[in-house]
Structure formats: structure tokens, C-alpha cells
Chains A and B, each alone.
Chain A
Amino acid sequence: MSDDDLKQKLSLLLDGELSKSDSLALMSRIEHDGELCRQWHRYCLVSELMRSGKILPVDDRFVDRVRDALASEPAILAPRPEKHQYRERTITAALAASLAVVAVLVGKSINEYSPVRGPELLAQTELTDTNDAHSTVDPQFQDYLVTHSETAYLAGAPGMLPYARLVTYDFSR
């Protein structure tokens, strides 16, 4: 790579227009190339001065001083963000799976008592009415069934629903 190509990359790096891999390679090179490092400093200085109109010059030793101050600090070994993301993804997937299972169970429950089975139930109703035409339903019991018919299957007692529907079904309508 020619000197001009390298400097042009430096210019692109300053503007955030260089690819990630090229940026990393160039930044690493700056760390080991004194002239390139000084060039980078001058580019930064010009950029900041043009933007703000005044400048606090940062000396070449600034990075070294920070490095020296951190020399006694232990290297960071933080939990990797990927693991964190993986855990979040796992939790999300587990929640989604649970919801899917609930949806299937509720769907199945509704299907068991869906209107598709209406004629069958109607037949049972007619049969019941024929066989026990004069029997009367206890009004208190009927109230109980009607009250609970809307929420019974949600509470996990689907067996009550068809009966509740039967006793509240008005055939004449």
C-alpha cells in the first residue's frame, strides 16, 4: 500500500467511512507507527479546530499516560454480551413456546365445543327434552350454570360448558 493510500485511509477513518476490518487494522497500525500516529493527531487536531474554532492540543504521550495508569488494573473479563443475548433469546423462545402450548390447548378446548358440533348437541337437546319433557331445572342451579358458562372453560372446567349451553339454549328462537 502506498503512502498516499494509507493517508487516504486515515482520512476515511477519521470520518467513519472506512470498513470495520480496515479500521481495526489501521488503528492497530497507528499504535506501532510513529509517523502515522503523528499524522492521525494532526488530522484530529484540524478536524476539531475547524468544528469548534479553538483547540486544546493533546500531546503524544496522552495515550501512554492512560495506559500507564491502567497498567496495574486487572484486565477486564466481563461476561460476553453474546452470552447475555443468548440467554435473552432462550428466555424469549421459552416464553413463545409456552404461549404456543397454551394457544394449542385453548384452541383444542374451544374446538371440542365449537358450533361444528352444534347439530349433535341439538340432537342431544331434543332427545333430552323428549325424554324428560315435564322436568324442570332448578332455577338456582340454572343461574349458577349460566353465570359460570362464560368463564368455566378458561378456568379449566370445560365439561360444564356444553351443559350450560344446553340449559340456556332457547330452541324457539
Chain B
Amino acid sequence: MGEQLDEELVRRVQRGDKTAFDILVRKYQYKIAQLINRYIKDPHEALDVAQESFIKAYRALPSFRGESAFYTWLYRIAINTAKNHIAMRARRPSEDEIEIEEAEQFESAVRLKDQETPEGVVLSEELARVIQFALDELPEELRTAISLREFDGLSYDEIAQVMNCPVGTVRSRIFRAREAIDKKLKVLLG
């Protein structure tokens, strides 16, 4: 279903509909940001590279023929953009003609920049703690449904088989679990 939606959105972009690309960006911004964050730990830099990846994808869309899924294609662009960014950053000292004595400091500065920022770590940990707390408070059937979906990546049909219930019940349970978690998260995020 997701791939069909992407195909339709890509077709629309290729016909000149820019708002369809906004939808694609909104759909995949989290996935792409997390992916790039594995390579570039600085959150601001990672978001800049994620933005650059989407811009490159837009420019390359005329040549996208749908031979692979849109996300697979976008994933490759994001990985390449992140790698190029790291390579360019590594070349920067020589381009700026930094003295040998300073080069070591520069390199360590780059390395330091690669560390996750304390604020990012705190926020991530706090969010994880809230989600875990919300999960623990969920009734068993809701917790199982959302866990099978998010942790194990099962489809609704597969969850219905595992939990021995109709697919409609799975839909409802996953939604109710998300709502319960969202209520706690809303308080934290303000």
C-alpha cells in the first residue's frame, strides 16, 4: 500500500506537482534523519544533510524510472550524501591550509563534533523513558499489538494471526496504544 502511494506521488511530482514532493518529504523526513544521524551525530548537521538529500532527490526525480521502490532510491541518495559530506569535511583542513600543528586540533574538533550533543542525548533518553512508561501502563492486548508492530515489524494480518483476532481489532488496538503513548508525549513536548 505504501509503495503504491509513493508511486502515485512520484508520478505527480514528475508531472510538475511540487506539493506532492512536500508529502513525500513529510512521509520520510524521520526515516531519513535517523538514517543520516547514524553517520553524522551532530543533530543540526544531520538535519542539514537530510535536507540536502531531499533536494538532490527532487533534482534527480526526472530520471527516476520506478525500477526500485522510491524509499530504496531515496535511502541510497541519503547514504551517498552523508558519505560525501563526511569526505568533504575531512578534506576541509587542507583546503583551508591549516598549519600542521593546528591540524591535529582541527581533526579532534571534527571528531568531537561527531559526538552526540548532550541535549540530544537527554531528549532522546527522556522520550524513550516516557514511551516505556506509557507502554508499561497499557493493557496487555494493546501492548502486545503495538510491540508486534513496532518492535517485530509484523503486518496487521500477521498480528491478527498471532493474537488470534480479526484485523479490525488489530487496527483498533494499535491505534489505542498510540493514542495512550501520544497523550504522555504531548505533555513532554508541550
- Spell out A's residues near B (CB within 8 Å): 7-8, 11-12, 15-20, 23-24, 27-28, 30-31, 37, 39-40, 42-59, 62-63, 65-67, 69-70, 73, 75-78, 80-81, 84
Report the 8 A-B pairs with minimum CB-CB distance, sorted nearest first.
Answer: A16-B2, A78-B62, A75-B16, A78-B14, A50-B150, A56-B37, A11-B175, A44-B30
A52 CA to B151 CA, complexed, in Å: 9
A27 CA to B178 CA, complexed, in Å: 19
Taking chain B's interface residues, is the majority helix, strand, or loop, or is none over half, making it mixed?
A: helix
Known contacts A44-B30, A51-B150, A66-B54; 7 additional CB pairs below 8 A are: A11-B171, A19-B1, A46-B185, A67-B18, A67-B22, A76-B61, A81-B65
With a cutoff of 8 Å between Cβ atoms, the chain B residues found around residue A84 in the complex are 65
A165 CA to B66 CA, complexed, in Å: 56
Residue B142 lies at the interface, judged by CB distance under 8 Å to chain A: no
Task: Check if A58 sits within 8 Å of B47, measured CB to CB.
Answer: yes
- The one of B11, B47, B55, B66 in contact with A56, judged by C-beta atoms closer than 8 angstroms, is B47
Tell me the smallest distance from the CB of A99 to a CB of chain B, in Å: 26
Task: Check if A17 sits within 8 Å of B171, measured CB to CB.
Answer: yes
Taking chain A's interface residues, is the majority helix, strand, or loop, or is none over half, making it mixed?
A: helix
Task: Check if B14 sits within 8 Å of A31, measured CB to CB.
Answer: no
Residue B59 lies at the interface, judged by CB distance under 8 Å to chain A: yes
Residue B186 lies at the interface, judged by CB distance under 8 Å to chain A: yes
Task: Check if A62 sits within 8 Å of B174, measured CB to CB.
Answer: no
Tell me the smallest distance from the CB of B154 to a CB of chain A, in Å: 10
Q: Which of B2-34 contact A (CB under 8 A)?
A: 2, 4-5, 8-9, 11, 13-19, 21-23, 25-27, 29-31, 33-34
Task: Check if B14 sits within 8 Å of A46, measured CB to CB.
Answer: no
Chosen A-B contacts, 29 in total, with CB atoms closer than 8 Å, are A17-B171, A19-B1, A20-B8, A24-B5, A24-B23, A27-B5, A27-B26, A30-B26, A31-B19, A39-B182, A42-B186, A47-B30, A49-B124, A50-B131, A50-B150, A50-B151, A51-B151, A54-B124, A55-B124, A55-B128, A56-B47, A58-B33, A63-B26, A66-B22, A73-B58, A77-B15, A78-B14, A78-B15, A78-B61
With a cutoff of 8 Å between Cβ atoms, the chain A residues found around residue B186 in the complex are 42
Q: Which residue of B lies closest to A31 (CB)?
A: B22
Residue B181 lies at the interface, judged by CB distance under 8 Å to chain A: yes
